[in-house]
Amino acid sequence: MKKIIILQHNGFFTQHLKEYQNIDMSLVCSELENAGYEFEFLEYKHLADYHYKVDDSAIYWTGSHQNISVKHYISDVLTTRFIGRNNLVPALDTVLAHENKGVMGMLAAEKALPFVAQNYHISSVENPSLTKFPFVFKALGGAGSKGVSLIHDRKLLLKSLRTTTFLEASVREMREGVKNRLRKWLNRKKQADYLMQQARFCEQAFIPNLSSDYKVLVFWDKVYVLKRGVREGDFRASGSGQFEVQHTIDSTLAELAMECREKLNTPYCSLDFVTLESGNYQLIEFQTCHFGPYTQISAVCFYQSSNCYKIETSHLPFEVVLSRSFLKYLERA
Ligand SMILES: Nc1ncnc2c1ncn2[C@@H]1O[C@H](COP(=O)(O)OP(=O)(O)O)[C@@H](O)[C@H]1O
Ligand SMILES: [Mg+2]
């Protein structure tokens, strides 16, 4: 039996209902103990130690973090230690897609997921290359529809580019922006263009006339679904708080979600689906290492082995469902 090494940042593994609220690790530990696994905790900063040697016979289990600096640090450490290795769960590529919708869209194409067509761009406010409207503009990070807007024309595009450039700029980049104005006056346009601040964003095809989307959580072979209504006068559902608990689950959606989980090579995942006019479901977003548990916690039924089961009295805690799916993944044939 492989040893499990649980990675943490200051004791934080992954989110519960609030992004800053850690899941109950004592429940996770009980599940691993009951299954007879040896496990230990390791801080990312120790994984980053110059003398640290990765134990190739162990499984490293990672969550993530929504604090941008911490997220960058985790991505650096995991990329360096696990590129070319296959003992990180969830897999490194999907961990890099957390808080980065650009990586997410490209990865979705690499893995042939049923994802709404999306391009990853970098552009300055002065020189936006996009000319085809409408489309959905997505900043790389954020949740609850923050940074997601519908772009009808060049004016709206410039507004989103300006906001994204400003929000992502470091003090050093802002200083560079001021210097750039000087450079232009001093006839150093080439250098100014080279150093000009840029915004990274996604351009996703707009699916019109949606009144809701589906948040689907997959834990190995168990599927939970929550329907989320679009806000009034808006096209966005995420963060609306208009939840419709599902009393039955469409088997087409559940089977598609399980296929996506398999393609993502992860024990569990969170998938946001929209419905096309054809009736087909398509993904607009996915997460593996860090996602909210509300869909599982509020569910009154789940889908498994072609059946929809009612949850009567004993609702399993999120941590237990998460850990059991992780163990099933380890024990897969
Ligand atoms: N391509 C799209 N077409 C139509 N609506 C979309 C599209 N992408 C996102 N939305 C709407 O915007 C919301 C937020 O988008 P999403 O990418 O899920 O961002 P977040 O990370 O904030 O959840 C979704 O819940 C959905 O209602
Ligand atoms: Mg979403």
264: left (phi over 0), alpha (psi -120 to 50) or beta: alpha
User: In this predicted structure, what is the pLDDT of residue 176?
Assistant: 84
**Tokens coding 196:** 């000009």
Distance CA 227, CA 30 (A): 32
Examine the domain organization and report whether 145 and 239 are in the same domain. no
Domain C-terminal end among 50, 69, 101? 101
Examine the domain organization and report whether 123 and 164 are in the same domain. yes
Q: What is the CATH number of the domain that holds 307?
A: 3.30.470.20
* 208 pLDDT higher than 90: yes
Single-letter amino acid code for the residue at 124? S
Is ligand 1 within 6 A of the CB of residue 210? yes
Domain C-terminal end among 204, 233, 255? 204
Is ligand 1 within 6 A of the CB of residue 213? yes
Domain C-terminal end among 73, 101, 129? 101
Examine the domain organization and report whether 27 and 93 are in the same domain. yes
Those residues whose C-beta lies under 8 Å from the C-beta of residue 6, and which sit 6 or more positions away, are 13, 25, 28, 39, 40, 41, 42, 61
pLDDT in tens, 105-161: 999 999 999 999 999 999 999 888 888 999 999 999 989 999 999 999 999 999 999
Examine the domain organization and report whether 53 and 150 are in the same domain. no
Q: Closest ligand to 238 CA?
A: 1
Cis peptide, bond prior to residue 90, ω within 30 of zero: yes
Residues 7/25, Cβ–Cβ less than 8 Å: no
Total domains present in the chain:
3
Q: Which residue has the tokens 């946001």?
A: 272
> pLDDT: is 9 or 197 the higher one?
9
148 C-alpha to center of ligand 1: Å?
7
pLDDT in tens, 261-273: 999 999 999 999 9
Examine the domain organization and report whether 232 and 321 are in the same domain. yes
Torsion, Cα of 188, 192, 195, 201 (10° steps): -160
Average pLDDT, rounded, for the chain: 95
251 C-alpha to center of ligand 2: Å?
21
Residues 72/36, Cβ–Cβ less than 8 Å: no
Examine the domain organization and report whether 74 and 179 are in the same domain. no
Examine the domain organization and report whether 70 and 40 are in the same domain. yes
Average of per-residue pLDDT across 24-31: 98
The alpha-helical segments, DSSP class H, found in the chain are 25-34, 44-47, 68-82, 92-96, 101-110, 154-168, 171-185, 189-195, 251-263, 294-297, 318-330
Which atom of ligand 1 is least distant from the CA of 204?
A: 1
Is ligand 1 within 6 A of the CB of residue 116? yes
Is ligand 1 within 6 A of the CB of residue 150? no
Residue 58 lies in a domain: yes
Q: Give nearest CA residue, ligand 1 atom 1.
A: 206
pLDDT in tens, 42-99: 999 999 999 999 999 999 999 999 999 999 999 999 999 999 999 999 999 999 999 9
Cis peptide, bond prior to residue 134, ω within 30 of zero: yes
Examine the domain organization and report whether 280 and 302 are in the same domain. yes
Q: Closest ligand to 148 CA?
A: 1
Is ligand 1 within 6 A of the CB of residue 106? no
User: In this predicted structure, what is the pLDDT of residue 129?
Assistant: 80
**Separation in Å, CA 107 to CA 8, 96, 97, 103, 274:** 25, 10, 8, 6, 19
- The residue segments making up the domain with residue 256 are 207-327
Q: What is the CATH number of the domain that holds 8?
A: 3.40.50
Which residue from 37, 39, 12 is spatially nearest to 289, judged by alpha carbons? 12
pLDDT in tens, 280-294: 999 999 999 999 999
Residues 226/244, Cβ–Cβ less than 8 Å: yes
Is ligand 1 within 6 A of the CB of residue 204? yes
Which atom of ligand 1 is least distant from the CA of 144?
A: 22
User: In this predicted structure, what is the pLDDT of residue 333?
Assistant: 62
Average of per-residue pLDDT across 28-50: 98
Q: Closest ligand to 141 CA?
A: 1
- Classified as helix, coil or strand, 262 is helix
Is ligand 1 within 6 A of the CB of residue 271? no
Residue 332 lies in a domain: no
Examine the domain organization and report whether 54 and 74 are in the same domain. yes
Is ligand 1 within 6 A of the CB of residue 143? yes
Residue 297 has phi, psi (to 5 degrees) of: -65, -35
Q: Give nearest CA residue, ligand 1 atom 22.
A: 145
User: In this predicted structure, what is the pLDDT of residue 261?
Assistant: 98
Examine the domain organization and report whether 12 and 89 are in the same domain. yes
173 C-alpha to center of ligand 2: Å?
29
Examine the domain organization and report whether 218 and 320 are in the same domain. yes
* CB-based neighbours (< 5 A) of ligand 2, an ion: 238, 272, 285
Write b or e for each residue in 13-42: b if 16 or more Cβ atoms lie within 10 A of its Cβ, otherwise e: bbbbeeeeebbebeebbebbeebebebeeb
> pLDDT: is 182 or 245 the higher one?
245
